[in-house]
């Protein structure tokens, strides 16, 4: 029997029971679509969390005195900051940078006291590095009030019960460890997708803060934003200093680890779905073989090679997968592209997402290579699933099979 004839028989066998074949195809399509869509949601959430973290507080690279991050000692300022900044100015892949003072302190009003991180910044520099200035829900960004303006998060504003032009007293220590209490006036209130960040960080002008703590001309932190995330490591390697230079994934190891393992997770997740589909394919094809037990017995009786019977069963399963896999992938591409533009509204669980630094609207995304890989995985899984019914067909005794009802 020629291969063309075998292919024709296998194709006709697929459609002998149209309902059963359609159900198998539909189950594979739905399985692939559901798997890829959930993967795209997961990838979208992860990308969104990473982007919001970089845009809000991480940036791509941060420079500190080696001892600063251990205990946030105010005296541990960056050494040779002028040389470092001059070098950064010459780097083509650096988009912007921001110099900061970073103090641990207390924000107080008549309604309570809360621990905060106080960041003394140059507003024009910070606007280019972080998105805080674009996240204001009230007020302006440190350019309206002449003396001691402050920008705080909405969640902290609610706790302190303050609004625009309200006074907030910041308590902190200067470089000599003397306790300082200075009043600031609220100029702006921001809200990011990370409620924990909003509650624990306040922004003031460097020029207001530095003289108070006797650290004028010194910095605890230099945050660098690269032209894109892929340039992070090359830019880091260009910075020659005795200070500590860390990339975003070193500053937040959990984000870096999640990003590195995301592809593995996606494949494992899809593998589990395909494994479940395997049992359905095995059951369906095994049923088809047993229903055609007499027919297969006759083919074997008239001299048909067992290898060709085996190939026929394998081809039938392969045809089902070849129809279903592209349909499932095409449906997934259309759905993922649509919600990648429109987004999925998860405002019903928005507060929970914000505690993890995620927005309530998720935009699906998936690397293009995954579509091809998942299609290949589906075909391979289908062939593996076909081994059981094909092997069962080979075990048939022609004489007994022909007598089967």
pLDDT at 357: 60
pLDDT at 4: 79
Q: How confident is the model at residue 47 (pLDDT cuts 50, 70, 90)?
A: confident
Predicted pLDDT of residue 231:
93
Could you give the C-alpha distances from 329 to 47, 171, 337, in angstroms and in order?
A: 22, 58, 12
Backbone angles phi, psi at 404, to 5 degrees: -65, 145
Q: How far apart are CA 247 and CA 264, in angstroms?
A: 23
Q: Provide the phi-psi class of 217: left if phi over 0, else alpha when psi is between -120 and 50, else beta.
A: left
% the chain with pLDDT above 70: 93
Could you tell me which residues are beta bridge partners of residue 167? Answer: 185
For helices 368-394 and 306-342, give the axis angle rounded to 10 degrees.
Answer: 150
Q: What is the pLDDT of residue 252?
A: 86
Q: What dihedral angle (degrees, nearest 10) is formed by the CA atoms of 272, 374, 48, 55?
A: 130
What is the pLDDT of the chain when averaged over all its residues? 87
Bigger pLDDT: 387 or 205? Answer: 205
Map tokens 């900051």 to a residue: 81
Average pLDDT over residues 146-162: 94
Q: Which of 231-240, 336-345, 374-383, 390-399 has the highest mean pLDDT?
A: 231-240
Q: What percent of the chain is modeled with pLDDT above 90?
A: 44
Q: Return the minimum-mean-pLDDT range out of 47-51, 169-173, 297-301, 353-357.
A: 353-357
Q: How high is the pLDDT of residue 106? A: 95
pLDDT band of 388, cuts 50, 70, 90: confident
Range 370-396 average pLDDT: 84
- Do 180 and 171 form a contact (C-beta atoms < 8 A)? yes
Q: Is the pLDDT of residue 259 over 80?
A: no
Q: Residue 402: pLDDT band by 50, 70, 90 thresholds? A: low
- What is the per-residue pLDDT for 48? 83
Q: What average pLDDT does range 294-318 have in this prediction?
A: 77
C-alpha–C-alpha distance, residues 296 and 317, integer Å: 16
Q: Which of 54-68, 178-192, 284-298 has the lowest mean pLDDT?
A: 284-298
> What does the pLDDT read at residue 202?
97
pLDDT number for residue 352: 63
Q: Looking at per-residue confidence, does 176 or 147 come out higher?
A: 147
Which of 4, 6, 31 lies closest to 273 in space, CA to CA?
Answer: 31
Over residues 260-289, the mean pLDDT reads 82
Cα gap 99→140, rounded to integer Å: 20
Confidence of residue 268 (pLDDT cuts 50, 70, 90): confident
Considering only CA atoms, which of 20, 172, 27 is closest in space to residue 101?
A: 172
What's the CA dihedral at 213, 215, 221, 227 to 10 degrees? Answer: 120
Does residue 291 have a pLDDT over 60? yes
Closest CA to 114 of 158, 53, 73: 158
Residue with tokens 């045809």: 319
CA torsion angle for 129, 135, 139, 144 (degrees, to 10)? 10
Asked if pLDDT for residue 350 goes beyond 90, the answer is no
pLDDT of residue 358: 64
Q: Which helix (H) or strand (E) holds 357?
A: none
Q: Which stretch of DSSP H or E encloses residue 123?
A: helix 123-129
Determine contact, residues 59/96, Cβ cutoff 8 Å.
no
Assess whether pLDDT exceeds 80 at residue 359. Answer: no
Domain locations along the chain: 3-53+256-402, 66-242
Report the DSSP pairing between strands 167-173 and 136-139.
unpaired
pLDDT for residue 92 is more than 60? yes
Please tell me the predicted confidence (pLDDT) of residue 354. Answer: 62
CA distances from 84 to 72, 221, 237, 242 (A): 21, 12, 13, 10
- Split at pLDDT 50, 70, 90, the class of 79 is very high
Distance between CA 386 and CA 396 in Å, rounded?
16
| CA–CA gap between residue 108 and residue 200 (Å, rounded) | 13
Closest CA to 317 of 110, 71, 6, 14: 14
**Distance separating alpha carbons of residues 3 and 144, to the nearest angstrom:** 81
Beta strands 221-226; 94-109: pairing state: antiparallel
Higher pLDDT, 399 or 85: 85
pLDDT band at 190, cuts 50/70/90? very high
């Amino acid at each position: 029997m020629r291969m063309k004839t075998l292919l024709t028989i296998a194709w006709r066998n697929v459609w002998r029971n149209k309902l059963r074949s359609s159900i198998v195809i539909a189950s594979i399509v739905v399985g692939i679509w559901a798997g890829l869509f959930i993967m795209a949601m997961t990838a979208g959430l992860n990308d969104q969390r990473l982007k919001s973290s970089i845009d809000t507080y991480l940036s791509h690279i941060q420079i500190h005195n080696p001892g600063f991050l251990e205990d946030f000692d105010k005296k541990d300022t960056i050494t040779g900051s002028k040389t470092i900044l001059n070098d950064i100015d010459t780097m083509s892949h650096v988009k912007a940078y921001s110099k900061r003072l970073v103090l641990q302190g207390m924000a107080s009003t008549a309604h309570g006291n809360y621990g905060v991180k106080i960041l003394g910044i140059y507003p024009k520099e910070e606007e280019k590095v972080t998105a805080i200035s674009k996240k204001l829900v009230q007020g302006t960004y440190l350019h309206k009030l002449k003396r001691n303006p402050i920008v705080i998060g909405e969640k902290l504003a609610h706790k302190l019960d303050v609004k625009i032009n309200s006074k907030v007293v910041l308590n902190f220590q200067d470089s000599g460890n003397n306790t300082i209490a200075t009043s600031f006036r609220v100029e702006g209130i921001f809200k990011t997708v990370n409620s924990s960040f909003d509650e624990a960080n306040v922004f003031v002008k460097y020029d207001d803060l530095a003289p108070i703590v006797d650290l004028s001309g010194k910095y605890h932190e230099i945050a660098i934003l690269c032209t894109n995330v892929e340039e992070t490591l090359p830019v880091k390697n260009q910075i020659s200093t005795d200070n500590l230079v860390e990339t975003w994934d070193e500053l937040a190891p959990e984000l870096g680890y999640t990003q590195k393992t995301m592809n593995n997770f996606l494949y494992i997740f899809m593998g589990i779905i395909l494994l479940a589909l395997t049992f359905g394919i095995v059951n369906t094809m095994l049923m088809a073989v047993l229903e055609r037990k007499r027919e297969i017995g006759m083919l074997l009786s008239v001299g048909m090679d067992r290898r060709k019977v085996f190939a026929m069963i394998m081809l039938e399963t392969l045809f089902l997968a070849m129809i279903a896999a592209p349909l499932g992938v095409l449906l997934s591409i259309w759905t993922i592209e649509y919600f990648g533009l429109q987004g999925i509204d998860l405002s019903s669980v928005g507060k929970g997402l914000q505690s993890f630094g995620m927005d309530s609207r998720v935009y699906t995304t998936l690397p293009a290579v995954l579509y091809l890989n998942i299609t290949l995985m589906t075909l391979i899984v289908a062939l593996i699933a076909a081994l059981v019914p094909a092997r069962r067909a080979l075990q048939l005794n022609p004489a007994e099979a022909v007598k089967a009802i």
